[in-house]
Amino acid sequence: MLKSTIEIEQAANVFKLLGDKTRLTIVGILKQRECCVCEFLEIFNTSQPSISQHLRKLKDAGLLKEERRGQWVYYSLNHQSEFYDLIDEILKHVPSQAEKIKQIEKSNPALSCGC
């Protein structure tokens, strides 16, 4: 019985995390491609520390993984997460983030920040 409660609480936490527009958008983008913080700055009208905080929350919940490349960190969805299928199902009901991805790729901040 305790195991079911923990699973429900964890699922509720995932829903809570994805209830934030910025985090849901981040996850939608990461479904399509990996990104570093500087790339997210191209589409969100917020600070780098704010984006990093959102990424940290998602990573701490096990939803994201990170890969360090030199001094830069790239984020991607954690396909090994027990909640990946849940996230995948949620994203089927969320508008495509293709325009935001095009915006990232057009501005290509990775070249200017050295990522």
45-48 LR contacts (CB < 8 Å, sep 24+): 46/22
- Calculate the dihedral angle through the C-alpha atoms of 99, 56, 64, 14, rounding to the nearest 10 degrees: -90
> What is the rounded distance in angstroms from the CA atom of residue 15 to the CA atom of residue 12?
5
User: Apex CA 104: angle with CA 106 and CA 85, to 5°?
Assistant: 135
Contact 26, 55 (CB under 8 A): yes
58-84 per-position pLDDT tens digit: 999 999 999 999 888 999 999 999 899
Tokens of 100: 């935001």
In the chain, domain spans? 2-113
**Could you list the pLDDT tens digit for every one of the 115 residues in the chain?**
445 565 888 889 999 999 999 999 999 999 999 999 999 998 998 999 999 999 999 999 999 999 999 888 999 999 999 899 999 999 999 999 999 999 998 887 555 555 5
Q: Would the pTM of this model clear 0.85, i.e. be above it?
A: yes
CATH architecture of the domain formed by 2-113: Orthogonal Bundle (1.10)
Phi/psi for 64 (5° steps) reads -120, 160
The answer for residues whose C-beta is within 8 angstroms of residue 24's C-beta and 6 or more apart is 18, 94
